[in-house]
Each structure stands twice: as structure tokens, then as C-alpha cells.
Structure 1
């Protein structure tokens, strides 16, 4: 089995997913700004301006993750990408977003691809390995 080919397919998939979502966030996708405001209501309320700024920060982070994974995947970044993608998918059926459970299930690939790439690269054995 050609694991290099599998690695590249997964690198492109993860990078594409994070780049696409990152660009939406940088553009201040209206629906996402509203979700941020709804989420912020649990923390005393977030203004539209704050929600937009936070979403922009998320977009920068997503684009950075996309670049790192495509150029030189780092295991710690892949773990973060897995956790972040799972969290954002799992939020869909929660009250402040209120989408059907299928919106969570539909996004399994968003967190499955970085997790699979992490396994293809090899699970880290030391703390230092998380940064390689």
C-alpha cells in the first residue's frame, strides 16, 4: 500500500476543508456571526462586532492550519484540527445553533480526515513528537 499517496490525499482533504471554512470565517459569514452571538449569550452576551472579530480570528487560525497541514503536517496541529472540527460539528444540534443531528453526522469527515492523517503519520510517543 502506498502510504505516501494516502498521506497526500489526506493532507489535501484536511487543507481544503480548513482553508474553505477559514475563508468563510474571514468573510464574516452572516450565519456564523449569528451563531457566535448566540454562543456568546452564555457568557454575558457578545455584540455583533465582537462575534465578527472572534470569527475573523478563527478564520486566520483555520487558514494557518490549512497551510501547515499542506506544507508540513505537524502532529500537534493535526490533533488540534481533529478536536476543533469535532467540536464545531458537535455544536450543530445544540440549542444555540439548533440544526438537526444529521448536520453533525454529515461533518464526520471534517474531523475524521485530520485524525486519519495523524494515524498515518504515526501517533507520537514523546512530547517532542507532537511538534514534528
Structure 2
């Protein structure tokens, strides 16, 4: 979703991308020429991730997602824009941690479903996901507090007569929620957060569905944390033991 959503924005030549190309000294005319190329490459990688996934793709997405998110503050936008996009680079990082370790050769081999029984790897993945979800929720809360124009326009179009006041309440609510998820990721809370995040992203005043698709990493990170949250760091040893016993039984049956 991240690759494809981001790629479509390149194909349709989203105007604000000119600012990001400008960080590298590229003018508007050249930027508009390069946008479709970047877009089609992203779309191609997204399709490949669906039909023939290799570990190199999420590894690239960690780098690409981090750089493209950093271009926002580098081009003059608030730092919160980079923080709020933690799902773009944090979700693939969690995937690599969960399914790794990878050798250089394995990066270009097709990845398959894995049953992870390593407690330390489960714990590391869990903390990566906690941190990612914390950043993306807190970052969005920060954007509310500073009154991002696009967010205020969302609230105005939803019928709120005082969008700045709504943004302040939502901002503090999301920041408190982010801290709670970081330290106490209760499963019902994380699931509620998923619906909150996925639902609230639908109300962008422009490119609503594309903006929603591009943030697929955010929803994926929250769902992955929901999948691990029942066990917590204190119960991952039991989870790993159960998985090992399950694999042994399957091996004996075969």
C-alpha cells in the first residue's frame, strides 16, 4: 500500500512534490518530468511485493520511507510531518526484524511464511512496533496541536464550527493515547486505535483515498502490534515455547 499509494501520487504529479525535489536543487520543470518515473518505480515495487516478495524490498522501503519522510521538514514543513510518517519506514523495519536475520544472498530470495520462535526477536519486534505506533500517533497529535491547515479543513468539512478547538482536543487525546500504547499496549486499546487511525485518514480534503492507501504502513504496524500485544514482553517466552512445541508436533506427524 505504501509503495502503490506513493507511486500514484508521482504518476499524477502531486504539486507539493516540487518542494521535495527542490531540496536537491531540482527545479519545477524537471521535478514534474521525474515524478511519473519515481511513481511507476514505486508502483512496480509495490506490485512485486504482492506477487513475488523478496526481503530487499522492505529493506529498500525502510531507507526510501525514511528519506521521503525527512524531505518534509527539510523542505520547510513541521518536523511532526516526518514523525507522523513513522509507519512508512517503521513497519518494514519491524517486518525485517520479525522475519530475519537475512544474509546478503537471502535478501534477493523469495520470502515465505515463517513461524518465529525466538523470544528475543519477538520482543525486539514488539518494541519496534510500539515505538512506531507511538511516533505515528503522537506525530498526528502534534500536527493537530499546531493547527495544520489540512486537518483544520477536515474538521470544518465535517461540520465543526470551531475546528481549531477540536484539533486541540484531538491532539492532546492522541498524544496521551500514544504514550499509553507505548507502555501498555492492551489489545482492545490497540484495536480501537486501528479503527480510529484508519477511519480518520479517510477525511483528507484532497486525494482522500490515495492518502489513505499511502498510509498503509501505519495501519499495518497497528495491526501487527495488536497481534503481539496479548503476549506482552513478559509472556513472549511462553509464546515461543508454544510455537516450538507446535513445530515439533507438526514435524513428528510428517
- Cα distance per residue 1:52-86 (max 9 Å; x no partner): 12221110111012112122221112111110000
Distance 1:50 1:103, change over 3 A: same
Please give the secondary structure, in 1, of the residue aligned with 2:42.
Answer: helix
The TM-score with structure 1 as length reference comes to 0.75
Q: Select the residue among 71, 83, 87 that pairs with 2:51.
A: 71
Among candidates 28, 45, 48, match of residue 13 of structure 2: 28
Contact 2:62-2:93 within 8 A present in 1 as well: yes
The structure showing larger relative contact order (alpha-carbon pairs under 8 Å, at least 6 residues apart) is 1
Determine whether 1:39 maps to 2:19. no
**In the alignment, is the contact (CA less than 8 A) between 2:20 and 2:72 conserved in 1?**
no
Which runs of 5 or more structure 1 residues have no equivalent in the other structure? 1-15
Aligned to 1:102: 80
Contact map agreement 1:65 1:81 (CA 8 A) in 2: no
8 Å Cα contact 2:18-2:27 kept in structure 1: no
SS of the residue corresponding to residue 30 of structure 1 reads: coil
TM-score under structure 2 length normalisation: 0.40
Q: Any idea what the Cα deviations from partners look like across 1:93-114, whole Å, max 9, x if unmatched?
A: 11xx211110010000010111
SS at match of 1:92: helix
Residue 17 of structure 1: how far off its partner (Å): 1.4
Report the secondary structure of 1:91's partner residue: helix
Q: Provide the aligned C-alpha RMSD in A.
A: 1.5
After superposition, where does 1:1-132 map in structure 2 within 5 Å? 16-36=1-21, 38-41=22-25, 46-94=26-74, 97-125=75-103, 127-132=104-109
Q: Give the C-alpha shift of residue 35 in structure 1.
A: 2.9
Give 1:123 deviation, angstroms: 2.3
Structure having the higher Rg: 2
Would you say how many aligned residue pairs link Structure 1 and Structure 2? 109
DSSP 3-state at the match of 2:101:
coil
2:10–2:38 Cα contact (<8 Å) kept: yes
After TM superposition, the runs of 4+ consecutive aligned structure 1 residues lying more than 3 A away are: none
